[in-house]
């Protein structure tokens, strides 16, 4: 009964998590690979997967949390269907990245680090995307959009919300 209530609350089925865990050896060396697979599957790392992973690997819960919170690639909060990253590195910053970020925040109604209520978009800032010559740069779902200006933001957001 508790599992049914938990699934209704989060939409995550423990059986799905256990299915992921079975793909890996139950040694602590598998922790990062397991978290990567969970992140890929659910688009974040649900609470119930943290405790199931700790049990499966027979390691302390805090060890799983330490890894899950240390790496920026992992998120303990649900992410949107479209993940927007805005580069705030020096080259992008001096070319107007802050204005791009503010325009995105205004149009989707969230701040960096948040996800829109409809689950459509998550917004993040990053220190560098390694494409300084194209700055300011914005990445949506892994697709790079360089030489951004505020007038391009609306069109891009519409394009991704339709995909």
More confident residue, 11 or 103: 103
Q: Is the pLDDT of residue 141 over 60?
A: yes
Residue in this structure with the two tokens 């089925």, named with its chain if needed: 13
Statement to judge: residues 60 and 92 lie in one domain: no
At residue 32, the pLDDT reads 97
Look up the domain containing 44 and give its range: 2-70
Last residue of a domain, one of 70, 98, 124: 70
In angstroms, rounded to a whole number, what is the distance separating the alpha carbons of residues 121 and 114? 9
pLDDT band per the 50, 70, 90 thresholds, residue 12: confident
Q: From residue 28, how far is each of 31, 87, 124 by CA, in Å? A: 5, 34, 30
- Claim to verify: residue 66 and residue 102 sit in the same structural domain: no
> What Cα–Cα distance (Å) separates residue 138 from each residue in 86, 90, 152?
5, 14, 11
Is the pLDDT reported for residue 59 higher than 80? yes
User: Would you say residue 95 has pLDDT above 70?
Assistant: yes
Q: Rounded distance, CA 47 to CA 49, Å? A: 5
Are residues 65 and 134 located together in one domain of the fold?
no
The 10s digit of each residue's pLDDT in 26-40 is 999 999 999 999 999
Tokens of 114: 């948040």
| Domain contains 75 | no
Among residues 70, 91, 110, the one where a domain terminates is 70
Q: Which of 41, 70, 99 is the last residue of a domain?
A: 70
Same domain assignment for residues 107 and 129: yes
Q: Are 153 and 104 in contact (CB under 8 A)?
A: yes
Rounded Cα gap, residues 39 and 53, in angstroms: 13
Residue 92 and residue 61 share a domain? no
Say yes or no: 93 and 141 in one domain. Answer: yes
For helices 47-57 and 14-21, angle between their N-to-C axes, nearest 10 degrees: 40
- Closest by CA to 110, choosing from 125, 93, 95, 96, is 125
Domain membership of residue 77 (yes or no) is no
At 10, the pLDDT band (50, 70, 90 cuts) reads low
Report the number of distinct structural domains present in the chain.
2
Same domain, 58 and 89: no
CATH number of the domain bearing residue 113:
3.40.30.10
Q: Does position 81 have pLDDT exceeding 80, yes or no? A: yes
Query: Backbone dihedral region of 142: left (phi > 0), alpha (psi from -120 to 50 degrees) or beta?
Result: left
């Amino acid at each position: 009964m508790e599992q049914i209530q938990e699934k209704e609350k989060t939409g995550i089925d423990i059986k799905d998590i256990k299915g992921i865990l079975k793909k890996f050896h139950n040694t602590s060396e598998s922790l990062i690979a397991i978290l990567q697979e969970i992140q890929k599957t659910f688009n974040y790392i649900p609470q119930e997967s943290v405790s199931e992973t700790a049990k499966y690997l027979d390691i302390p819960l805090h060890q799983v949390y330490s890894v899950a919170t240390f790496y920026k690639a992992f998120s303990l909060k649900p992410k949107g269907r479209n993940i927007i990253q805005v580069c705030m590195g020096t080259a992008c910053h001096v070319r107007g990245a802050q204005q791009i970020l503010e325009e995105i925040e205004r149009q989707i109604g969230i701040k960096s680090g948040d996800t829109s209520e409809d689950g459509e978009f998550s917004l993040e800032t990053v220190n560098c995307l390694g494409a300084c010559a194209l700055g300011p740069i914005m990445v949506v779902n892994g697709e790079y959009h360089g030489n951004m200006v505020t007038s391009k933001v609306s069109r891009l957001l519409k394009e991704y919300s339709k995909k």
